[in-house]
């Protein structure tokens, strides 16, 4: 090991995940996997997920060797800082990790610990599958129509954090540059102003869209939709759209067609084994999530659009409490739930651990353990369908039984054992 870990115990047993010449993961049956339990409710849901994923691995003849690492409050207690080198280096060395929710304290030096981790590890694709599980209450009539996977760019757009504070010399320089040297007519009102710059690059766009198209091809998905606001922001979001189409045409000419070709040559009926690449304006897409849910499959979008769209999609299948996510880079994976740390519920053993458990399912898929991943999904669904659930679901259904976080996880494990 090149890094000397200060306050982290590296498992004595277990093997390191490697990559091949194409940066594809080479996964042993006994990998070492770093885990951050997280802040707030992370202390409850992290261990719950850990034992469920252990059960799924064991049921399929494998073993996960967990390596506990720290960020946020737990790291401040151990290291006196929010994101120690031990944690970052562990995630680099062992390649596949999972974490619970983190809270960034005021004045921490990071806009977000989650964003900091994504940047340090170059985890450029935030992937959020959205599908309905039987038994989960939903605000829509037919939540089962939702089955889409959102690919959200993780490093650019507004999350690059290029902005200038009102009243500073820097913001005045930017204003003078935009209005003076660049010759733009002023649309900035008089008085104090904050200015932000969003960057969207060809490189960042194409590697995200490539990942989305590869996913669609590998998983027999029908379409990839580019979500943008290019009717207004033509040189950033409009460029995202154009570069996405360009990537599809250049690299996947036999496996993709655009929507114009679909109607002009195929009368709207796509040939088998072809992915349709299309695009939608972001605000219109928020409507179509509700009105034409079944027409969308894989979505690819810049960061802010992806934030809005994935949360809206999650609402249709029961909310962020069960919404999984993962961050992907070249030969690296960090699974994490979408929800926050909810500190007022910390340590009460009451919240729903489904989101981090299903994020673990995504992690298992990235390991190539599809059988274990399917066990997790089916076991979570079976447990929810039984009506023996955590308080957030129990209060919305008739005849349910309220379980603690740990009891709910134990029930999932029983279903894993039964299903395997």
Flag whether 231 is marked binding.
Answer: no
Flag whether 124 is marked binding.
Answer: no
Flag whether 189 is marked binding.
Answer: no
70 Cβ contact partners less than 8 Å away, ≥ 6 residues apart: 7, 8, 36, 77, 78, 79, 84, 86, 87
Flag whether 343 is marked binding.
Answer: yes
CB 361 within 8 A of CB 326: no
Flag whether 95 is marked binding.
Answer: no
Helix (H) or strand (E) holding 300: strand 298-301
Helix (H, G, I), strand (E, B) or coil at 219: coil
Flag whether 339 is marked binding.
Answer: yes
**Short-list 22, 33, 16, 45, CA closest to 339:** 45
Flag whether 211 is marked binding.
Answer: no
Positions marked catalytic: 159, 229, 283, 307
Flag whether 186 is marked binding.
Answer: no
Q: CA dihedral defined by 330, 334, 335, 339, rounded to 10 degrees?
A: -120
Flag whether 341 is marked binding.
Answer: yes
Q: Kindly give the interhelix angle for 282-291 and 303-316, rounded to the nearest 10 degrees.
A: 10
Flag whether 2 is marked binding.
Answer: no
Q: Residue 373 is encoded by which pair of tokens?
A: 């991943």
CB 256 within 8 A of CB 275: yes
Flag whether 114 is marked binding.
Answer: yes
Count CA within 13 A, CB hemisphere, residue 17: 29
Flag whether 47 is marked binding.
Answer: no
Dihedral of CA 276/211/287/397: which sign?
positive
Cα–chain center distance at 345: 23
Distance separating alpha carbons of residues 276 and 258, to the nearest angstrom: 6
Flag whether 112 is marked binding.
Answer: yes
Q: Kindly give the interhelix angle for 202-218 and 237-251, rounded to the nearest 10 degrees.
A: 50
Distance separating alpha carbons of residues 140 and 132, to the nearest angstrom: 11
Helix (H, G, I), strand (E, B) or coil at 323: coil
CB 39 within 8 A of CB 74: yes
CB 281 within 8 A of CB 130: no
CA gyration radius, the chain? 22
Centre a 10 Å sphere on the Cβ of residue 272 and count the other Cβ atoms it contains. Answer: 5
Flag whether 74 is marked binding.
Answer: no
Flag whether 13 is marked binding.
Answer: no
Distance separating alpha carbons of residues 157 and 304, to the nearest angstrom: 7
Distance separating alpha carbons of residues 158 and 193, to the nearest angstrom: 17
Flag whether 305 is marked binding.
Answer: no
**Short-list 107, 149, 109, CA closest to 131:** 149
Flag whether 395 is marked binding.
Answer: yes
Binding residues: 103, 112, 114, 118, 128, 152, 307, 339-345, 352, 391, 395
Q: Which residues are annotated as a binding site for Mg(2+)?
A: 307
| Residues contributing to the annotated binding site for D-threo-isocitrate | 112, 114, 118, 128, 152
Binding-site residues for NADP(+), please? 103, 339-345, 352, 391, 395
């Amino acid at each position: 090991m090149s890094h000397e870990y200060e306050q982290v115990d590296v498992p004595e047993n277990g093997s390191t995940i490697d990559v091949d010449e194409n940066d594809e993961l080479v996964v042993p049956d006994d990998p070492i996997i770093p885990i951050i339990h997280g802040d707030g409710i992370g202390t409850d849901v992290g261990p719950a997920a850990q034992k469920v994923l252990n059960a799924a691995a064991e049921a399929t003849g494998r073993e996960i060797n967990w390596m506990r690492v720290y960020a946020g409050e737990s790291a401040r207690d151990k290291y006196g800082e929010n994101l120690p080198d031990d944690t970052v280096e562990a995630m680099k060395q062992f390649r596949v990790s999972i974490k619970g929710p983190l809270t960034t304290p005021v004045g921490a030096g990071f806009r977000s610990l989650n964003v900091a981790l994504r940047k340090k590890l170059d985890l450029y694709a935030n992937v959020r599958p959205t599908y309905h599980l039987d038994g989960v209450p939903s605000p829509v009539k037919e939540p089962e129509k939702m089955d889409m996977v959102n690919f959200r760019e993780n490093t650019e757009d507004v999350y690059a954090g290029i902005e200038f504070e009102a009243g500073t010399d820097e913001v005045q320089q930017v204003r003078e540059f935009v209005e003076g040297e660049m010759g733009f007519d002023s649309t900035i009102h008089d008085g104090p102003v904050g200015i932000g710059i969003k960057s969207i690059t060809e490189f960042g766009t194409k590697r995200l869209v490539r990942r989305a198209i590869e996913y669609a091809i590998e998983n027999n998905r029908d379409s990839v939709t580019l979500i943008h606001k290019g009717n207004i922001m033509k040189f950033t979001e409009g460029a995202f759209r154009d570069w996405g189409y360009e990537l599809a045409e250049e690299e996947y000419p036999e496996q993709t067609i655009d929507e114009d070709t679909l109607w002009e040559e195929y009368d709207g009926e796509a040939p088998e084994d072809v992915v349709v690449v299309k695009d939608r304006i972001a605000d219109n897409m928020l409507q179509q999530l509700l009105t034409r849910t079944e027409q969308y499959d894989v979505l690819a979008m810049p960061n802010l659009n992806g934030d809005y769209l994935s949360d809206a999609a999650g609402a249709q299948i029961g909310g962020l409490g069960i919404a999984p996510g993962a961050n992907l880079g070249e030969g690296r994976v960090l699974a994490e739930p979408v929800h926050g740390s909810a500190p007022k519920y910390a340590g009460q053993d009451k919240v729903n651990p489904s989101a981090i458990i299903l994020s673990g399912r995504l992690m298992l898929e990235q390991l190539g353990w599809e059988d274990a991943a399917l066990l997790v999904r089916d076991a979570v669904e079976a447990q929810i369908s039984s009506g023996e659930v955590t308080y957030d679901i129990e209060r919305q259904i008739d005849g349910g039984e309220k379980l603690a976080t740990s009891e709910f996880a134990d029930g999932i494990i029983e279903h894993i054992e039964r299903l395997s």
